[in-house]
A and B are shown apart, each in its own frame.
Chain A
Amino acid sequence: MCLGLCGTPAAQDRTPDQALISPDAKDWVTYGGSYTSQRYSQLKQVTAANASQLGAKWVYHVDGTTELEPTPIVANGVIYISGFNRVDALDARTGNIIWKYQRQPPSAARQRGTAIYGDKVYMATSDSHLVALDARTGGVRWDVKSEGGFTISGGAPLIADGRVIVCGNRPHGFIQAYDAETGTYAWTWSAVPTKAEDPAYATWGGGTPAGAPIWVSGSYDPELNLIYYGTGQPDPQWTGLARPGDNLYSDSIVALDVKTGMLKWHFQNTPHDVHDWDSLESPVLVDATFRGQPRKLLLQANRNGFYYILDRVTGAFLQGTPFVDKLDWATGLDREGRPIVAPGHEPTVKGTATCPSTAGATNWPPPTYSRDTGYLYVVVAEGCGINVITSSTAPDSATGYYEAPHAPWQAYVRAIDALTGKRIWEYRAVRSNHYGPGLLSTAGGIVFAPEQFGQVSVLDAKTGKSLWHFNTGDVITAAPVTYSVDGEQLFAIASGTNVFAFGLFDRR
């Protein structure tokens, strides 16, 4: 039985682009599972009825790491686990190592995944090179230094229209494209204006545009040829004294033309942010009839506590609703989706309580959208934070935040009706930290829901009822994947320094 890249003739005949646009259900080919970032799998061997028979199939220890964050990629029976300077390729059925690429020096820095395109996988290095490895052997196909002095972050690369899309934080937020076959540099988009003639420059009130880091992978619509990314907070992070104005394009969802890198549209969730509410939560692409009209939608449960529905062709705001109860910094959103800001929540020397906290109502660990239930499942933190600054007059005042004693953080998995924003059910984590790991859903009617304190649970997608659980014995921050090898559906998740794979007990 050949399970390698030699797969079925049909699979072999598909172009690398087709394999990403219409991925085989047995694979998990991008950070978000597919270009939509729905993290929904059509596999249904594991169902709500038999999930109780899940068990661990293999564990792989990623030596030299600390708290693993990558989403693995699975293609043709091989699972690829990445870090800065490193990719481990394993037999996805047994966890046996096939090859390991380690560029010096070893790095335990946070990194969130790799990407595959045909016979190549991609990895950023800690000295900001982009490296393409041969997916079969780990051999170096090409290695290029990032263009223009930009430092590539730990966000997983995204392959779109034959380009490797990478992002980063330094010297400010940016997105770059390189040719996936050759590594040839294509373009850079800066998340803050770099020239005074840029209209966005005026939104910084005379201050120097800075920040807007981008450290999470985006989504892609091949029909529109647009990529969608979130951007992070403006700098200085905690005071807006030196940057009066909206501070574009911080805390925004942006749509870029993948051929040119030109900004097609933007939507700013949190203008003039002083709470570090990055908009880096995965933009989920869904085609649906919304208020009687078929539309291409973009969904995002944002760190600031609002759940947004946008038209992803134009960026038009369609709807916004809170998905947490603890939200007091805004009284709502106006017709354009702009927050109606409540006074009294700017960080102060004494400390100011704000809900949600800086850790957010949710954060980068990605949600999932089920095509069967029509629900968006989000890891949610209810609670508030106290933001403090060290000086009320220094524009770059250093500071931080802590959990508000009156409203401690409580984590949930929450099912939200994707088109109405109505809450359907919630699963309460018994122990909570600032946020939890990512999620996935399947055609088997389940949500695979790890918890930060080490439990992985399978929940009924319709009701939220827990169907199975397993204690991995370490912290989980990463997001899970599911795939199928030789007729067996498996789930994999990084926990601590290990990657676990689960499947049904009676399959072998």
Chain B
Amino acid sequence: MKAALSFAGLLLVAAPLLAQRGTPAGPANPFLGKPEAVTEGEALYNQHCTTCHGAGGGGGEIGPPIVSGDRLDIGVSDAQTFNIITNGVAGTPMSPQRLPETDIWKVVTYIHALRATAIDNPLPGDVGHGEQVFWGKGQCGTCHMMSGRGGLTAPDLSNIAGTRKARSISDALTKQQHRVYGSGGAHLEALPAMNSYLPVFVTTADGTIIEGVLLNEDGYSLQMIGNDNQLHLFDRAKLRRVVVEPRSLMPTDYDKRLTPDEFKDLLAFLTRQGRSAPRR
């Protein structure tokens, strides 16, 4: 608990500095963007850090989690992480780590990758071929939009790698239950868009049936995008029937309907679509 408080204190001190200078204070990470440093950093982390902070930074019995389950993570710069590892956190079990500076930077690079979204740590593969799979055999563009092209009945994927981790993207292609909750769990901090994209069939008073994807609903109104690619907004009292399917149309067997190479290349393509989230 005390460690967590100190950590919060560091964040508070850091925030005005960041605001003033526009860039994180301290030296730049020399290994950023180097995948081999992530691998080496992981080995070093597993050797020196897991006892307290747990595997994958998820937290242990002594130390707090240093990677939250959220998609956009705690806003600590690499320089700050480096300082914490080098100097420790006074008044907590986090002691200064006696490691060569380059090793500390590799651990920092691994933690950066753990915290980052896919765009900062994209998966290997043939990106061009993956793009062909996206628009071709995978039929992703039938429902999803990507960089201004594609369908409207599923989420826009133009920034998918900027908002999700690679694992989350892979899960979405292969698992029915892949929803990722933030570190606050399922607690709502604001009214979200529905984002479940469930198929809906609406029968209007005159018997017309409109099919599409549900965007939102309450007891009095319903918002959907039809298969005609138009928005439809309804007063529920004027509808004869509403049927919402419990599961989205998103296939979750891409690891089977695609060859291993196609699947790998599709992930290589998807994990490169977007922009890095600015460090807070």
> A-side interface residues toward B, CB under 8 Å?
1-6, 60-61, 63-64, 76-78, 91, 93-94, 96-100, 103-105, 134, 136-143, 485-486
Contact = CB atoms under 8 A, between A and B. Distances in A.
B158 A139 contact: yes
Contact of A140 (B158, B192, B210, B230): B158
Contacts of A91: 216, 221, 223, 233
A1 B222 CA distance: 11
B156 A100 contact: no
Interface residues of A, dominant DSSP: loop
Interface in B98-147: 145, 147
Contacts of B159: 103, 140
Contacts of A77: 231, 233
A85 B232 CA distance: 26
B234 A100 contact: no
B128 to A, nearest CB: 21
Given A3-B232, A3-B234, A136-B229, A96 B156 contact: no
Contacts of B230: 2, 4-6, 136
Given A104-B278, A136-B152, A142-B148, A63 B190 contact: yes
Contacts of B152: 134, 136-137, 139
27 contacts: A1-B238, A2-B230, A3-B232, A6-B226, A63-B191, A76-B231, A77-B231, A78-B233, A94-B220, A97-B192, A97-B216, A98-B193, A98-B215, A100-B193, A104-B72, A104-B162, A136-B230, A136-B231, A137-B145, A137-B152, A137-B225, A138-B156, A139-B145, A139-B150, A139-B156, A139-B158, A140-B156
A96 B148 contact: no
Most chain B CB atoms below 10 A, which of A5, A91, A139, A140 = A139
Contact of B192 (A2, A4, A100, A142): A100
B218 interface: yes
Interface of B: 72, 145, 147-148, 150, 152, 155-156, 158-159, 162-163, 189-194, 204-205, 210, 215-218, 220-221, 223, 225-226, 228-235, 238, 275, 277-278, 280
B190 A61 contact: yes
A4 B72 contact: no
B156 A98 contact: no
A99 to B, nearest CB: 5
Most chain B CB atoms below 10 A, which of A5, A91, A486 = A91
Nearest to A101: B156
B145 A64 contact: no
A91 B156 CA distance: 20
Nearest to A63: B190
B280 to A, nearest CB: 7
B277 A94 contact: no
A93 B221 contact: yes
Contacts of A98: 193, 215-216, 223, 231, 233
B134 to A, nearest CB: 15
A96 B221 contact: yes
A93 B235 contact: yes
Most chain A CB atoms below 10 A, which of B150, B152, B215, B231 = B231
A1 B204 contact: yes
A142 B158 CA distance: 10
B191 A97 contact: yes
Interface residues of B, dominant DSSP: loop
Contact of B232 (A4, A63, A94, A143): A4
A3 B217 CA distance: 15
A136 B277 contact: no
Contacts of B194: 97
B215 A99 contact: yes
Contacts of A136: 152, 225, 229-231
A138 B215 CA distance: 12
Nearest to A12: B230
Given A1-B205, A6-B231, A140-B148, 11 more contacts: A4-B226, A61-B190, A63-B191, A93-B221, A94-B218, A105-B277, A136-B152, A136-B231, A140-B145, A140-B158, A485-B233
B145 A4 contact: no
B80 to A, nearest CB: 17
Contacts of A141: 148
Contacts of B72: 104
Contacts of B234: 1, 3
A183 to B, nearest CB: 9
Nearest to A486: B235
Contacts of B210: 2
Contacts of A138: 156
Nearest to A78: B231
Contacts of A61: 190-191
Nearest to A127: B278
Contacts of A97: 191-194, 216
A98 B155 CA distance: 12
A481 B43 CA distance: 59
A220 B170 CA distance: 49
Contacts of A486: 235
Nearest to B215: A98
A100 B210 CA distance: 24
Contacts of A143: 158
Contacts of B233: 3-4, 77-78, 91, 93, 98, 485
B147 A140 contact: yes
Question: Top 9 A-B pairs ranked by shortest CB distance?
Answer: A139-B156, A63-B190, A4-B231, A139-B145, A6-B230, A94-B221, A104-B277, A3-B233, A140-B158
A61 B159 CA distance: 25
A64 B231 contact: no
A379 to B, nearest CB: 31
A356 to B, nearest CB: 34
A135 B148 CA distance: 12
Given A5-B230, A134-B152, A96 B190 contact: no
A141 B148 CA distance: 4
A486 B159 CA distance: 36
Contact of A6 (B163, B193, B228): B228
Contacts of B280: 105
B216 to A, nearest CB: 5
A143 B232 CA distance: 27
Contacts of B220: 94
A136 B210 CA distance: 16
Given A91-B221, A96-B221, A105-B280, A6 B192 contact: no
A91 B193 CA distance: 12
B272 to A, nearest CB: 16
Most chain B CB atoms below 10 A, which of A2, A64, A77, A136 = A2
A456 B234 CA distance: 29
Contacts of B217: 96
Nearest to B232: A4
B165 to A, nearest CB: 15
A136 B158 CA distance: 16
Nearest to B202: A2
A5 B223 contact: no
A99 B193 contact: yes
A103 B280 CA distance: 14
